[in-house]
Amino acid sequence: MGRGPTGTTLTNARLLTPHGVRAGWLRSEDRRITALGTGEAPEGGTETVDAGGRWVLPGAVDIHIHGGAGAAFTDADPEGAMRVVEFNRSRGVTTLVGGLVTAAPTDTLDQIAALAEVADGGGLAGVYLEGPYIAASKCGAHDPALLREPDLAEFAAMLKAGRGHVRMITVAPELPGALELIRAAVSEGVVAAVGHTEATYDQARAAFDAGATVATHIYNQMRPLHHREPGPIAAALNDERVTVELINDGVHVHPGAARLVFGSAGSDRVALITDAMSATGLGDGEYTLGKLRVRVEDGRARIAETGQIASSTIVLPDAVRRAVHTMGVPLEAAAHAASAVPARALNLSGVGSLAAGGTADLLLLDDDLSVAGVMHHGSWVRRP
């Protein structure tokens, strides 16, 4: 009895590769992209699927997300965390880093340990700590009563709970001990990000010189840009070492300001993120983010008590589509900002690009950029 097909050959595709758009084919076997090219695809050994001329992008990589489908990463529940992962996979986000918000020390360790368990099983690419070492005046949807100054001993306990899965931490560089914590994070292989901050331009530059390489959701919860005190926004945009996160949901950042980020930093330094919460995919209503009540109306999430903007309720392909249709960003650049750039920023190997040897994570889009198919690790999550 002969062996059946061991992989998939996708034909009649518009492939967004690191070398530009190619009309051609892509072959995946054993969870990996094994070959891609133009012209006629080689025959035999795999199932052939006609892409129908659709766009084929790398699976999206969301490095800043807090929940979805009714679950939050702060729940410290591995099953709930996987519900977030599966919901996103079905919509084209094939790599996620589980984001936590400021919590009490013991709760934070429990949350990290739960997400590390999911990462051990391959569900998450790591853990992201948004706080607790952030500015009270720029805390946003973080509980101000739980904020604290950078603490190297506490951070070491976080790393121990994460068992090698803590990928990134956001720090306000003006806080006492912040630069020491940034250096400690970098020395442990953890990406340090600047955000939720009142830092001056010089303080932000000092953080980048200490090793921070990401700006957390540029504009949001930062000292605003001013021509005489440009603050962290200009420091990040001017620094070639820094990847700039952008929430492109049409709520957090005006399209004109978002275009400015792409124009200033260039598509090779912009990482589209969602900052999405548990309400994503469920519609309007009341939810929680950490310990705070959040009300969602018309897809816009705001803290119930203050009306302040909280997380978003989009998935990452929505941000790509908005960048193209609303901001005029070329699809190649928008897709790059949702895949290769965030993957590189957090040192996630094998994902974020269509290249031989890489993970077979694919996102198929129709001409209107709606999701038509999703492949994760060589298996169809959503068949075109």
At 198, list the tokens: 């009142």
CA distance linking residue 381 with residue 91, whole number of Å? 9
At 13, list the tokens: 């595709």
Q: What DSSP string runs through 26-74?
A: EEEETTEEEEEEESSPPPSSSEEEE-TT-EEEEPEEEEEE-EETTEEGG
Q: Which amino acid is at 125?
A: A
275 is catalytic: yes
Query: What is the phi/psi pair of residue 270, to 5°?
Result: -100, 125
Of 62, 275, 318, 361, which is the active-site residue? 275
CA-nearest of 49, 3, 48, 41 to 22 is 41
CA 131 to chain centre: 16
Q: What DSSP string runs through 107-170?
A: HHHHHHHHHHHHHHTTS-S-EEEE-SSS-GGG-TTS-GGG-----HHHHHHHHHHHTT-EEEEE
Looking at the chain, list the stretches that DSSP marks H as alpha helix, in order from N- to C-terminal side: 78-89, 105-120, 152-162, 178-187, 201-210, 231-237, 255-265, 316-325, 331-337, 340-345
Contacts 24+ apart (CB under 8 A), 134-137: 134/102, 134/170, 134/171, 134/172, 134/175, 134/195, 134/196, 134/197, 134/221, 135/172, 135/174, 135/175, 135/196, 135/197, 135/198, 137/198
CA distance linking residue 167 with residue 161, whole number of Å? 13
Q: What are the catalytic residues?
A: 275
